[in-house]
Amino acid sequence: MSGGTLYFDWAATALPDETIIREAADTAISYYANPSSQHKAGKLAREKLEEARSCCAKALQVPSNTLFFTSGGTESDQIVLLSFLQRPKTGNILISNIEHPAVREQAHMLAYCGWKIREIPVDDSGILTPQTVVSAIDSDTAAIFIMAVNNETGAIQPLHEIIQAVRTNAQSGRHIWIHADCVQAAGKIPVSLTEWDIDSAAFSAHKLGGPRGIGMLYMRRRLEPFLKGGGQELGMRSGTENIFGAWGLSRCLQKYLFTTETNSTAMQRYYEQHKYCAEFIETLRNIPGCTIIPAQRGSTDIPEDRFSPWIVQASFKGVPGEVMVRALSEQGIYISTGSACSSKKKQRPVLDAMRIPQDIAQNAVRFSFGPATTHSDMQTLAQAVRAVASLFYSGKR
């Protein structure tokens, strides 16, 4: 880390991959024209845009015509959600009750247009079960939105099992659209859209060290977009295309995305991180007054592989979350209290959904890691957290 700082807020945004950012900037300078222009420069820019799309398709192992560049994960989620406003009759949409605000807030806006939004409850560990999802489906269910990896607790949802259960139990052979927010999954856990049998999924470049303001929507078959414009991205997302962002995203997916089969080095790092994370959690547990959220994480009942090894949430008795963040920040150690998108509201809907007691929730902080985080960094973080907590327990602060 630069300047003597230690960065543990990767779930909010990753440290920039300088090589990728510079390459994307050089590409944008060289291919400066509007990709929709009909002159030679425009056609060259179009070729570069499509090259980026093909690179993304290869990384995700899906056809190029199923991928659409967007402004980020939020827009990718919302394009799918808003498409249901085009339908001639309303129904209900199911979302997990730990969704990111990009889905949760937009879904509730659809309620003003006649749609019923039903929240599927997670268990105390923040994980959905296939049985819970299936039991929430009725004859009016049109779509289900499930976050692949929760951005606060790191809970990995069993998407493949849930989708299999939905497909098997859907009434009268109806096809229920299933969308996954994969923003915290890509590059962090094995991702396979075809194996999951998912209908659509959202991705974001800046969580992978790429540019901000660029994301991608995977859509296995087209939905009619609610918002219209110039018709770019086959009409799914109008607006002048972002060559800089698209090229950066393509390189990020190429470098960081992995499945269990395609990238043995990334899988090895994934398993290694699980080991480091388990050690980090055990060290925190030994700090007086510490509660890991969920408390069952790493137990024999809920094995550690049900959680992303890149995100850990914990609470420290008597130490408000914002105080822990400030105290560590003064030492050049950066963590967060939770989702950056909700931090100003000081609300913890994810922890509320998990039925975490208020005194624990208000003291909760999130530690999130990335490719540049070393084992030594995590050990230093644990020692710093212990030191801050001990000041409060001893009454010296």
Q: Could you give the residue numbers annotated as active site?
A: 341
Question: Could you give the C-alpha distances from 16 to 10, 210, 300, 349, in angstroms and in order?
Answer: 10, 6, 37, 29
Which residues are registered as beta bridge partners of 149?
A: 156
SS3 of 35, please? coil
Give ∠ CA 277-278-280 in degrees, rounded to 5: 60
- Which residue's entry shows tokens 């899906």? 62
SS3 of 103, please? helix
Identity (one letter) of the amino acid at 379? Q
- CB count within 10 Å of CB 287 equals 18
Are the C-beta atoms of residues 237 and 225 closer than 8 Å to each other?
yes
Q: Is 239 left (phi over 0), alpha (psi -120 to 50) or beta?
A: left
Give ∠ CA 278-252-179 in degrees, rounded to 5: 75
Are the C-beta atoms of residues 13 and 234 closer than 8 Å to each other?
no
Are the C-beta atoms of residues 360 and 313 closer than 8 Å to each other?
no
SS3 of 7, please? strand
Identity (one letter) of the amino acid at 329? S
Nearest to 179 by CA among 56, 77, 104, 82: 77
d(CA 377, CA 317): 24
Q: 343-359: buried (b, 16+ CB within 10 Å) or exposed (e) per residue?
A: eeeeebbbbebbebeee
Are the C-beta atoms of residues 274 and 309 closer than 8 Å to each other?
yes
Nearest to 18 by CA among 332, 251, 266: 251
Residue 129: CA count within 13 A, CB half-sphere: 7
- Which residue's entry shows tokens 């806006």? 109
d(CA 350, CA 362): 12
